[in-house]
Amino acid sequence: MNETPPELQRFVEAAREQVIAPTHVTADAVLAGLERHRDRTQARRTITLSAAIALAASLITVSLLWPMLSARDASPPRDPAGHAGHAGHATGHAAGQAGGITNVDAPEHQAASLDLDSAVSLRTNTQVEVRGPWSLALGEGVHELEVQATPGQALRVSLPGLELELAEGNATIEVVQSSAAVKLHNGVAAWIGEDGQRTVLNVEHVDLQAPSATELAREAERLLAAGKPDKAVAVLRRLVAAYPKASQTRTGLLDLARLLRNSTRKDEARCAYELYLQRWPGSAVDGEVRAALARLGPGRACRGLDPR
């Protein structure tokens, strides 16, 4: 298995042959160090708690004093004759109501900051980036768009890896990781190619931009690095289903099995290992995979990646 270049191997052997000196660390020393560590941790907690209490006390004090302070600040300045003056303008402002945008998760916060044309209506369950009255970028989630026909205008929608133009009508767009599915219920829409060429969508047209095996593998790796193993599992399952024989699937299936096992989904982990053995019999890691299966113990039979 080790195919290190022979010349480099000499250096590696030198490292491996280094005599491992016995450690002088004793259990007593470790336990004493542990005790000191606990004391330090406890001291830090005490300091943090004290600071938090002090902060809370300050906040309470400020909140109690605030009405008095603000009342004093709000008192109108007196003119030389002793009369109270008046503020010259109102503090309120009229926020322009542009673009009908509803975020089903945070409707109030979203609507205030967005600035789409009033002919565009967007219902979404996630964050969107409005780039202008007729331009927006959609992130992961489900988005329902409605555009009223406006002469000379069309809504430009940026999706992962592609651009869509919606001149009028209703469309539902689902973005999952690096792919987007667009369903045009009615109206006129087109994909915009990199060269600016337009490909008109049919009504009820579904165009799934399937990511490649490499993209899925990278996405899974990114999610893992971001500490999102559950999402990585979903992407890896998709990789295994979409590209059963790809080289990325070969390693991805092993990662999937490990992640499932670590999240105590043992039956699913077993299925992943078994599927690996079915698809790549006699591989270099055959023995290790069988050992991992043996450690998982017996369980339910599998159909593909899922236990029956």
Partner 1 sequence: MAVANPHAADEQPAAATGAAAGATVHALPQRDMQGLVARARRHDPAAQRQLFELHKTRVCAQVQRMTGDPATVDDLVQEVFIAAFANLDKFRGDSQLHTWLYRIVVNKARNWWDSEQRRRRRELRASQVPAQSPNTPHDQLEACEHREQLYAALGELSPKLREAFVARVVEGMSLLEASEALEVPVSTVSYRTRRAEELLCQALGVAGFPTPGRRS
Task: List residues binding partner 1 (CB under 8 A).
Answer: 1-8, 10-25, 27, 29-31, 33-34, 37-38, 41, 217, 220-221, 224-225, 248, 251-252, 254-255, 258, 261-264, 283-285, 288-289, 292, 295
Query: Minimum Å distance from CB 294 to partner 1?
Result: 11
Task: Count CB atoms within 10 A of the CB of residue 189.
Answer: 27
How far apart are the C-alpha atoms of 53 and 42, rounded to whole Å? 16
State which residue, 143 or 238, has the beta carbon closest to partner 1: 238
Q: Identify which of 142, 141, 177 has the alpha carbon closest to the alpha carbon of residue 161.
A: 177
Query: Minimum Å distance from CB 20 to partner 1?
Result: 4
Task: Count CB atoms within 10 A of the CB of residue 22.
Answer: 6
Query: Minimum Å distance from CB 89 to partner 1?
Result: 57
State which residue, 201 or 223, has the beta carbon closest to partner 1: 223
Query: Minimum Å distance from CB 238 to partner 1?
Result: 15
Query: Minimum Å distance from CB 210 to partner 1?
Result: 20
Determine which helix (DSSP H) or strand (DSSP E) holds 179, and give its type and residue range.
Answer: strand 179-192
At what angle are helices 213-225 and 247-262 packed, to 10 degrees? 30
Q: Could you tell me the two tokens for 264?
A: 């105590």
State which residue, 94 or 225, has the beta carbon closest to partner 1: 225
State which residue, 2 or 113, has the beta carbon closest to partner 1: 2
Percentages helix, strand, coil for the chain (3-state, rounded to 5) are 45, 20, 35
State which residue, 170 or 283, has the beta carbon closest to partner 1: 283
